[in-house]
Structure 1
Amino acid sequence: MKQTDLSRHQIAFILGGAALMLSLAMGMRQSFGLFQPHLIREIGITAADFSLAIALQNIVWGATQPFMGIFADRYGARPVTLFGVVIYALGLAFAMTATSAWSVTLGMGLCVGLALSCTASNIAMSVTAKAVSPAQRSMAMGSVSALGSLGLTLASPMAQHLITSAGWQIALIGFLGLACVMVPAAWMASRADHIEVPANLGVPQTVTEAIREALGHRGYVVLAIAFFVCGLQLVFITTHLPTYLDICGIDPSIGSTALALVGLFNVMGSYLFGWLGGLYSKRFLLGGIYVLRSAFIAAYFVVPPTPTSTLVFAAAMGTLWLGVVPLVSGLVIHLFGLRYMATLSGVAFMSHQMGSFIGAWGGGLIYSSLGSYDLAWQGSVAIGLAAGLFQMTMNMKPSERILAERTPSVAT
Structure 2
Amino acid sequence: MFQSVRRPDVLVIVLAAAGILMVSMGIRQSFGLFVSPISGSTGMGIAAISFAMAIAQLSWGAAQPVAGALADRFGAGPVLIGGLLLLAAGCALTPFATGTWSLVLTVGLLTAVGSGLSGFSVLIGAASQRLPVEARGTASGIINAGGSFGQFVFAPVSQKLIQAVGWMGAMWVLALAALATIPLIAKFTGGTTAPVKHADDKGMRHAIGEALADRSYALLSFGFFTCGFHIAFLVTHLPGEVSLCGLPADVASWSLAIIGLANIAGSLYAGSCVAKYRSKYVLAAMYGSRALLIAVYLLLPKTEWTFYLFAAGLGFTWLATVPPTAAIVGKLFGTRYLATLFGIALFSHQIGGFFGAWLGGIALTVQGDYSWMWYADMALAAVAALANLPIREAPLQPAATAG
TM-score w.r.t. the length of structure 1 is 0.92
Alignment match of 2:345 (pick from 348, 353, 371): 348
- The whole-number CA distance in structure 1 between the counterparts of 2:178 and 2:118 is 11
Q: Does 1:338 align with 2:341?
A: no
Report 1:181-192 matches (<5 A).
181-191=180-190
* 1:189-246 Cα distance to aligned partner (Å, 9 max, x none): 223744966847xx43111100011112211111112110010001101100001111
Instruction: Please tell me whether the aligned partners of residues 94 and 104 of structure 1 are also in contact (alpha carbons under 8 angstroms).
Output: no
Contact 1:31/1:152 (CA < 8 Å) preserved in 2? yes
Secondary structure of 2:302 counterpart: coil
Match of 1:84 in 2: 83
**Against the structure 1 CA distance between its residues 287 and 198, is the aligned structure 2 distance closer, same or farther, given a 3 Å change threshold?**
farther
Q: Report Cα offsets for 1:30-53 as digits up to 9, x if no partner.
A: 111111111111111111111111
Distance in 2, matches of 1:292 and 1:158, equals: 29
| Alpha-carbon distance, 1:285 to partner | 0.2
Q: CA deviation at 1:181?
A: 2.0
1:294, distance to aligned residue in structure 2 (A) = 1.8
Does residue 299 of structure 1 match 2:302?
A: no
- Residue 403 of structure 1, CA deviation: 6.2
Kept after mapping to 2: 8 A contact 1:34/1:160: yes
For structure 1, list consecutive stretches of 5 or more residues without a partner in the other structure.
1-5, 406-412
Provide the C-alpha distance between the structure 2 equivalents of 1:315 and 1:103, rounded to a whole number of angstroms.
35
3-state DSSP class of the match of 1:183? Answer: coil
The amino acid that maps onto 1:395 is R
d(CA) in 1 for partners of 2:161, 2:331 = 44
Task: Sort the Cα spacing of 1:192 and 1:57 in 2 relative to 1 into closer, same or farther, 3 A.
Answer: farther
Select the residue among 213, 217, 220 that pairs with 1:220.
217
Separation in 2, partners of 1:301, 1:198: 52
Shift of 1:272: 0.4
CA displacement at 1:12 relative to structure 2: 2.1
Structure 2 residue 52 is the aligned partner of structure 1 residue 53: yes
Q: 1:192 to 1:65 in 2, by over 3 A?
A: farther
Q: Pairwise mapping of residues 130-149 of structure 1 onto structure 2 (< 5 A)?
A: 130-149=129-148
Partner of 1:359: 356
Aligned amino acid, residue 97 of structure 2 = A
Q: Distance in 1 between matches of 2:358 and 2:401?
A: 45
CA contact (8 A) 1:336 1:398 kept: no
2:67 matched residue in structure 1: 68
The 5 Å alignment of 1:6-405 reads 8-191=7-190, 193-194=192-193, 199=198, 203-397=200-394, 402=399
The residue type equivalent to 2:343 in the other structure is G
Q: Which residue of 2 aligns with 1:409?
A: none
Q: Secondary structure at the match of 1:167?
A: helix
Give the aligned length: 398
Q: 1:376 to 1:165 in 2, by over 3 A?
A: same
Q: Deviations over 1:153-201 (max 9, x none)?
A: 211111111111221111112211211222112332223744966847x
Mapped partners of 1:114, 1:26: distance in 2: 12
Are residues 400 and 264 of structure 1, via their aligned partners in 2, closer, same or farther at CA, if it must alter by over 3 Å?
closer
Q: CA deviation at 1:358?
A: 0.6
The residue matched to 1:395 in structure 2 has which SS? coil
Residues 346-380 of structure 1, C-alpha deviations (whole Å, 9 max, x = no match):
11111111100010001111111111100011001
Provide the rounded CA distance (Å) in 1 between the counterparts of 2:78 and 2:43: 38
Q: Does the C-alpha gap of structure 1 residues 404 and 147 become closer, same or farther in structure 2, counting only changes over 3 Å? A: closer
- Percent identity between the aligned chains? 33
What is the rounded CA distance, in whole Å, between the counterparts of 1:402 and 1:289 in structure 2? 31
Aligned partner letter, 1:337: G
| Alpha-carbon distance in structure 1 between the residues aligned to 2:401 and 2:23 | 40
Partner deviation per Cα, 1:93-141 (whole Å, 9 max, x = no partner): 1212222222222111111121122111111111221232111210111
CA distance in 2, matches of 1:192, 1:244: 48
- In 1: Cα distance, 2:370 partner to 2:191 partner: 44
8 Å Cα contact 1:15/1:144 also seen in 2: yes
Distance 2:73 2:219 in 1: 27
Counterpart code for 1:262 = I
TM-score relative to the length of structure 2: 0.94
CA contact (8 A) 1:228 1:355 kept: yes
Q: Is the 1:54–1:360 Cα contact (8 Å) retained in structure 2?
A: yes
Given that 1:61 and 1:117 are in contact with CA atoms closer than 8 Å, whether structure 2 keeps it comes out as yes
Structure 2 distance, partners of 1:17, 1:361, is 34
- RMSD of the TM alignment (CA)? 2.0
Output the amino acid matched with 1:228. F
Question: 2: distance between equivalents of 1:344 and 1:334?
Answer: 12
Aligned-partner Cα distance in 1 for 2:85–2:26: 17
